[in-house]
């Protein structure tokens, strides 16, 4: 029988800054740390030029400004919400 799942708890990031995690994926972490969100909600920007935003996060003006700054000069063509938790979906409408 396998042992416990080894959770990775190390994560280097700066709130408000999109970090390249693969050639076509950037992650921006919302400044909403909690036991439920860990360090904060991860927002993913997929693509270049024409991009999709996955789980845009909380409806917080500063956070939405951070997303808009991260996609400056690009066109957001899709906004995907994987589930309706209050840390993942509220920014979808103002971002649209």
pLDDT by position in tens, the chain (length 96):
677 877 777 888 999 999 999 999 999 999 999 988 889 999 999 999 999 999 999 999 999 999 999 999 999 999 999 998 888 999 999 999
CB 53 within 8 A of CB 80: yes
Task: Please give the order of strands across the beta sheet that includes 50-54.
Answer: 19-22, 25-29, 42-46, 50-54, 75-80
Selecting among 10, 60, 72, 87, the annotated active-site residue is: 87
Active site residue 60: no
């Amino acid at each position: 029988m396998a042992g416990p799942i080894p959770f990775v708890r190390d994560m280097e990031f700066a709130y408000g800054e999109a970090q390249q995690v693969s050639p076509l994926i950037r992650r921006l972490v919302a400044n909403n740390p909690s036991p439920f969100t860990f360090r904060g909600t991860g927002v993913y920007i997929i693509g270049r030029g024409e991009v999709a935003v996955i789980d845009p996060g909380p409806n917080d003006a500063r956070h939405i400004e951070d997303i808009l700054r991260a996609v400056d000069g690009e066109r957001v063509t899709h906004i995907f919400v994987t589930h309706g938790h209050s840390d993942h979906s509220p920014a979808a409408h103002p971002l649209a």
